[in-house]
C-alpha cells in the first residue's frame, strides 16, 4: 500500500486536498475493492468445493476436481495478495511443523 493514508492525513491537517491526491486515493480504493471482491470470489469457490474424501478418509472420485480448483484458487490468491512482492505482511511465513 502506498503512503496515501499519510498523504490524506497531512492534507486534512493543512486543510488542502489537491485533485492529484484525491485521484490517487480514489484509484487505490478502487484497486483494493477489486482485490477484495476477487478474494471473496475465491473463498466462495473454496467453500463450495466438495471435499475429496469420504467418512473413512478415503479419496473419492472428486479428488481431481478438488485439486484443480484448490490449486487454481491458491495461485490466484497468491497473485492478489502480492506474494511475489515483499510487504510487511509477506516478509515472514508462518512456521510449519
pLDDT in tens, 9-55: 888 888 887 888 888 888 999 999 999 999 999 999 888 888 888 88
Q: If you search the block for the grid coordinates 497473485, which residue do you land on? A: 79
Q: Quick one: average pLDDT of 65-82? A: 88
One DSSP character per residue, 29-81 reads HHHHHHHHHHHHHHHHHHHHSPPSB-TTS-B-TTHHHHHHHHHHHHHHHHHHH
CA 19/CA 32 separation, integer angstroms: 20
Domain spans, the chain: 4-81
Take residue 78 and report the three cell numbers written for it.
Answer: 497468491
* pLDDT mean across residues, the chain: 82
Amino acid at each position: 500500500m502506498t503512503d496515501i493514508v499519510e498523504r490524506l492525513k497531512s492534507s486534512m491537517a493543512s486543510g488542502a486536498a489537491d485533485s492529484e491526491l484525491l485521484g490517487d486515493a480514489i484509484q487505490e480504493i478502487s484497486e483494493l475493492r477489486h482485490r477484495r471482491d476477487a478474494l471473496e470470489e475465491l473463498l466462495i469457490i473454496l467453500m463450495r468445493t466438495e471435499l475429496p474424501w469420504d467418512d473413512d478418509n478415503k479419496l473419492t472420485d472428486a479428488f481431481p476436481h478438488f485439486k484443480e480448483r484448490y490449486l487454481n484458487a491458491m495461485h490466484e490468491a497468491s497473485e492478489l495478495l502480492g506474494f511475489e512482492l515483499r510487504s510487511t505482511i509477506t516478509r515472514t511465513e508462518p512456521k510449519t511443523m
